[in-house]
Structure 1
């Protein structure tokens, strides 16, 4: 009886938090500067695959936290980073060794996140994860960097755990994630873009498949292999 109730609570929590974490990934990706207007509510709801009431709850929470602000009749805007700073924060990455340490930390953190997501098996969260994976491919097809979609994918894995501390810890690392992804891509200049992007998509697909099938060990290893691939793409190109 207790485990059934706990499972239900995890599912409800996942739905409540999903829109918030997707928005957090969007505004923390580095592509939106302070004062930048967010896309319209309908656009964001369709992009994240959530209802407008759920999106509005997430926007209200972000406003209360000082991460965004509203202008009547105009929409929602990204706040200055100083106004949106939280208790949990990390210094900027200052060197190549620092980036490597950060990626190694992510490998451990997100490996366990993927394993936990596979164990929980929240079908709604896994459906959202599939959509996030598809959006990375769509961004690549349009010739875009896909960085915010990539970050949203990783946030969706963390959200699929049903454990808010995974998502909130990753949320505190958004700026470092964006920087490290850009650096990996910039310093992988000798590698053709198309094969590199396909490798990322294939790695993401393996993560989704393992989580969907509830295979905790394979999910953990697929995520660790994915981030290890980023380390290899960065340091083998130098």
Structure 2
């Protein structure tokens, strides 16, 4: 199978990682500002923010409120799935299987432990995605926010920490246009995703951990199956 072209985010992550590894940016150094990166690389603010989020998730940098991003010590770098491997659909499939295992259990815990405020946050994220779909706006960040809200509602910081890595780099449609293989429009595809989100929300609101686990597994399992179709179609 021909290797897909890297996304702009992946290209920027690769470039910044190379500079850090080469010592151009040393431990404690502040990275260039968003404006400087936008001007140097000719990319959007969204691409820059996604790249910084990926660098942060991989343990290369840390962000400080109101100050920017700073290079971390080599020894603090965390587990990281190669961005290069993520360009291959097969690798995304394997990583998505990991999300199914982790997030289905997170949904079950959220159903048992969520506070009223955390439930409201999950419901708000779901509603925000619905509004974006109807307005034709991008939903990738909103999708991530929905799943992150569930991870936060587990009451277990490790679920949130893992999701902050896995969710931001592995939301499948950010990398592969799977709706094209469903013979549907993007909006129809997103409405189906939203309907699955509503099933998850209903189970968490009802405090039904088994139903929440099953709904999340069906949701991400569907994404996995759609990506498998992409793999077969492009093989």
Task: Give the number of the structure whose alpha-carbon radius of gyration is greater.
Answer: 2
Cα distance, 1:88–1:235 mapped onto 2, change above 3 Å = closer
Query: What is the match of residue 10 of structure 1?
Result: none
Cα distance, 1:68–1:215 mapped onto 2, change above 3 Å = same
Q: Structure 1 length as normaliser, TM-score?
A: 0.64
Alpha-carbon separation, structure 2, partners of 1:83 and 1:191: 44
Q: Deviations over 1:134-190 (max 9, x none)?
A: 111122222122101100100000000111110011112244224x33234x13224
Query: What is the match of residue 43 of structure 1?
Result: none
Cα distance, 1:175–1:194 mapped onto 2, change above 3 Å = closer
- 1:182 and 2:174 aligned: yes
Alpha-carbon separation, structure 1, partners of 2:112 and 2:196: 19
Q: Pick from 119, 125, 137: which aligns with 1:132?
A: 125
Query: What is the match of residue 50 of structure 2?
Result: none
Alpha-carbon separation, structure 1, partners of 2:61 and 2:91: 29
Unaligned 5+ segments in structure 1 are 1-29, 38-64
The answer to whether the Cα contact below 8 Å between 1:90 and 1:172 also exists between their aligned partners in 2 is: no
Bigger relative contact order, structure 1 or 2 (CA pairs below 8 A, ≥6 apart): 1
Unaligned 5+ segments in structure 2 are 1-8, 14-31, 36-59
Q: Pick from 82, 95, 115: which aligns with 1:91?
A: 82
Query: What is the match of residue 68 of structure 1?
Result: 63
Q: Structure 2 length as normaliser, TM-score?
A: 0.65
The answer to whether the Cα contact below 8 Å between 2:199 and 2:215 also exists between their aligned partners in 1 is: yes
Secondary structure of the 2:98 match is: helix
Q: Pick from 221, 227, 233: which aligns with 2:226?
A: 233
Deviation at 1:220, TM superposition (A): 0.2
Deviation at 1:207, TM superposition (A): 0.4
Alpha-carbon separation, structure 1, partners of 2:190 and 2:34: 28
The answer to whether the Cα contact below 8 Å between 2:99 and 2:166 also exists between their aligned partners in 1 is: no
Paired residues for 1:1-238 under 5 Å: 35-36=33-34, 67-69=62-64, 77=68, 79=69, 83=72, 86-92=77-83, 93-178=86-171, 180-184=172-176, 186-189=177-180, 190-237=183-230, 238=233
The answer to whether the Cα contact below 8 Å between 2:114 and 2:155 also exists between their aligned partners in 1 is: no
Cα distance, 1:205–1:94 mapped onto 2, change above 3 Å = same
